[in-house]
Each structure stands twice: as structure tokens, then as C-alpha cells.
Amino acid sequence: MTAGDSTPDRLKAAEQREDELRRRLNSLLTEQRRALAERSRYEERSRLEGADPRVAEAARAEERRAEELSGAIDSVRGELRAQEGVVARLRTERD
């Protein structure tokens, strides 16, 4: 954006970025739920008599994945909150 960009143009771009961040957050949350569900499934299987030790390792891997996703989720949430502030400010300038 340049200094000559109009408020409606800046607002539209800011709203689009906000939408992108919301979609990214939803995607990460879905991926995290899947990782936790897989972890739970693997943990149950690892408790069965004669379970292959690789099943327990798979559960730990899904737990690590969920933890990594948690960091990404926090980052995107912070970016989204900041973007919501930008959108709110631009809407105020427009009105």
C-alpha cells in the first residue's frame, strides 16, 4: 500500500487479511484436534496386551505434533487480534 491508498482500499485489504488469518486459525485448530484424536487412539491401542511399541511412539509423535500446532495457533491468534484492531481502526476512519 502507498500513502495515496484510499481508506476503502486499505480497509478491503485489511479485511481480506483478517479473513485469511481466520481461515488459517481454523485450519490449525482442526489439525490440532485431529492430532489429539490420533494420539488418543494410539494410546488406547498401545495399552492392549502385546501391543507393538511403535504404537506408543506414534502416540508420542501425535502429542508432539499437537504441541507444535499449539504454538502456531497462539501466533496466528495474536496476529489475528492485531489485524482485527487494524480493521476496526480503518472502519472508524471510513465512518
Residues 83, 14: Cα–Cα separation, whole Å: 7
Residues 48, 39: Cα–Cα separation, whole Å: 15
Give the model confidence (pLDDT) of 55-91 as tens digits.
Answer: 999 999 999 999 999 999 999 999 999 999 999 999 9
Q: How confident is the model at residue 6 (pLDDT cuts 50, 70, 90)?
A: confident
The domain locations on the chain are 7-94
pTM: 0.84
Give the model confidence (pLDDT) of 13-41 as tens digits.
Answer: 999 999 999 999 999 999 999 999 999 99
Q: Exposed e or buried b for every residue in 40-49, given b needs 16+ CB within 10 A?
A: eebbeebeee
Indicate whether 3 pLDDT > 70.
no
